[in-house]
């Protein structure tokens, strides 16, 4: 009897020790992953904008009003209940915008938006392509990432760790060493736990999902509003370098950039916007803070309704939008009869509901493609570099193919006599398309540079 009693006392003591160890979690809770949609790649090269009120949206990338946007999940990942919640939050934009997110089966071959549900393990974070830029992404790649690890209610699992429950039993079965057990360890174990009755943080899920689908509609980060925040830049750089591994350029693009090149849309800075990062007092010079916004603000509702109005066919904020796809050089050759280069770029072009003017530009570069060739010829130049171009006014809501299937319907001609004297050197031809953006007094580049193979230009 004494032995049984002694054994029971030992077991009780060991249990008390283990419980005491489990109650002590080291370190601090990991931070939620910020949105890493790159604003820098969305910014326009130049613009004129002196109006104080604005909303940070890229009007060049908004969809056509009334569009039905096809969305699918990728790789058969995510339970149906999780998917249903994400769909519900994404479609909250539809209450205020004349736009439809139509979720289709995973095996749908062609979609506009493709959602990848990831975790801390894949390190993809939260981000999205901006607006119609989704259409430029190959169909086998995602356009929007959601780190579902951030949607878990970790506080519920901390409680199970301290007071007992399925998660604690899981830790015991896997032989967890509870000495110096940290919050970071716990977060990793929760993700690996694969709880069939997972505890979700619905507020976090709603805020992040709505934010990323806001990017997919063309909205930018609200904290980039000019003069909206007096940042303590040094501490912000150090914080993101330590906790996110971001360099200065990435912090500038995603957090600090206060750019005057956004379209003016008649609204003012909105710290309650779903598109705003949380801002802590130590990140600013005046102690200004912004919480974790998880609901659409009045400002969000107004701007999305203005971009995609339900009572108009075309938004008053709409601008001509032109999409270039399937670019290649159909043919480029030296013509000794016409005495010049004949250039036949091959591509498809799609226009929006507004009339637009474009320039098809062919510039000469050095043989390695590294440098443009300067010229004093005012008639055959683009920004004082040797070039030929064609100006074309495009009809709205059209799809056109140039120089496809053996058909030549666009020719750029560059006479040898109009070129700098290249003395028989080899050059490359770079093809680009620019839109004439009259509203903002600039030429907007629509394509990446596309270089031909080297060609030999006769000397004069």
DSSP readout, 84-102? HHHHHHHGGGGGTSS-EEE
**pLDDT of res. 46:** 26
Which DSSP letter does residue 252 get?
I
Kind and range of the H or E run holding 363: strand 356-365
* pLDDT of 441 above 70: no
CA distance linking residue 36 with residue 255, whole number of Å: 10
Angle at 239 between CA 233 and CA 242, to 5 degrees: 140
Fold entry, domain 322-456: Immunoglobulin-like (2.60.40)
CATH 2.60.40.10 in the chain is located at 322-456
Mean pLDDT, range 255-274, rounded to an integer: 68
Which of 189-198, 282-291, 351-360, 406-415 has the least mean pLDDT? Answer: 351-360
Q: Is the pLDDT of residue 21 over 60?
A: no
What's the chain's average pLDDT?
83
Average pLDDT over residues 272-281: 90
- What is the reported pLDDT for 438? 54
The tokens for 250 are: 């990435």
Residue 160 confidence (pLDDT) above 80: yes
Strand partners for 451? 430
Mean pLDDT, rounded, for 295-310? 94
Look at residue 190 and tell me whether its pLDDT is greater than 80.
Answer: yes
Spatial strand order of the sheet with 100-103 comes to 100-103, 68-73, 113-118, 144-147, 127-128
pTM (predicted TM-score) = 0.74
pLDDT at 172: 94
Domain 40-150+201-307 has CATH 3.30.460.10: no
Could you tell me where in the chain the CATH 3.40.390.10 domains are found?
Answer: 40-150+201-307
pLDDT of residue 446: 62
Answer whether residue 54 shows pLDDT above 50.
no
Query: Quick check: 261 pLDDT over 50?
Result: no
Is 92 buried (19+), middle (13-18) or exposed (0-12) by CB count in 10 A?
Answer: buried
- Residue 57 · residue 218 · CB < 8 Å: yes
The burial class, CB within 10 Å (0-12 / 13-18 / 19+), for 123 is exposed
């Amino acid at each position: 009897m004494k032995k049984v009693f002694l054994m029971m006392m030992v077991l009780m003591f060991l249990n008390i020790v283990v419980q005491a160890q489990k109650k002590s979690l080291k370190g601090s809770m990991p931070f939620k992953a910020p949105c890493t949609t790159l604003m820098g790649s969305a910014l326009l090269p130049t613009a004129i904008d002196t109006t104080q009120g604005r909303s940070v949206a890229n009007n060049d990338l908004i969809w056509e009003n009334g569009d039905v946007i096809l969305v699918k999940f990728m790789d058969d990942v995510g339970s149906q209940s999780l998917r249903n919640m994400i769909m519900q939050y994404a479609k909250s934009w539809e209450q205020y915008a004349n736009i439809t997110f139509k979720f289709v089966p995973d095996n749908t071959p062609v979609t506009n938006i493709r959602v990848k549900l990831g975790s801390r393990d894949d390190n993809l974070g939260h981000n999205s392509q901006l607006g119609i830029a989704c259409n430029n992404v190959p169909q086998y790649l995602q356009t929007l990432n959601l780190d579902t690890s951030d949607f878990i209610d970790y506080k519920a699992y901390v409680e199970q760790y301290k007071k007992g429950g399925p998660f604690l039993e899981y830790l015991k079965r896997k032989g967890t060493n509870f000495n110096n057990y940290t919050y970071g360890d716990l977060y990793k174990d929760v993700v690996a736990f694969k709880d069939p009755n997972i505890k979700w943080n619905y507020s976090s899920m709603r805020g992040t999902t709505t934010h990323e689908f806001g990017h997919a509609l063309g909205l930018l980060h609200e904290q980039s509003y000019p003069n909206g925040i007096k940042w303590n830049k040094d501490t912000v750089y150090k914080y993101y370098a330590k906790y996110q591994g971001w360099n200065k350029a990435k912090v500038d693009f995603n957090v600090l950039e206060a750019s005057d090149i956004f379209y003016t849309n008649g609204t003012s800075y909105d710290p309650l916007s779903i598109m705003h990062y949380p801002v802590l007092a130590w990140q600013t010079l005046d102690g200004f803070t912004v919480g974790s916004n998880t609901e659409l603000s009045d400002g969000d509702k107004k701007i999305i309704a203005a971009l995609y109005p339900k009572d108009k066919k075309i938004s008053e904020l709409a601008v001509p939008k032109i999409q270039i796809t399937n670019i290649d050089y159909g043919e480029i050759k030296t013509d000794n009869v016409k005495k010049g280069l004949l250039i036949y770029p091959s591509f498809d072009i799609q226009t929006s509901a507004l009339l637009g003017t474009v320039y098809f530009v062919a510039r000469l570069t050095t043989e390695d493609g590294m440098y443009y060739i300067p010229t004093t010829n005012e008639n055959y130049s683009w920004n004082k570099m040797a070039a030929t171009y064609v100006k074309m006014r495009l009809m709205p809501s059209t799809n056109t193919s140039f120089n496809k299937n053996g058909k030549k319907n666009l020719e750029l001609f560059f006479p040898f006599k109009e070129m700098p004297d290249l003395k028989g050197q080899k050059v490359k031809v770079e093809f680009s398309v620019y839109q004439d953006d009259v509203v903002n007094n600039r030429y907007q580049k629509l394509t990446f540079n596309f270089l031909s193979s080297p060609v030999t230009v006769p000397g004069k």
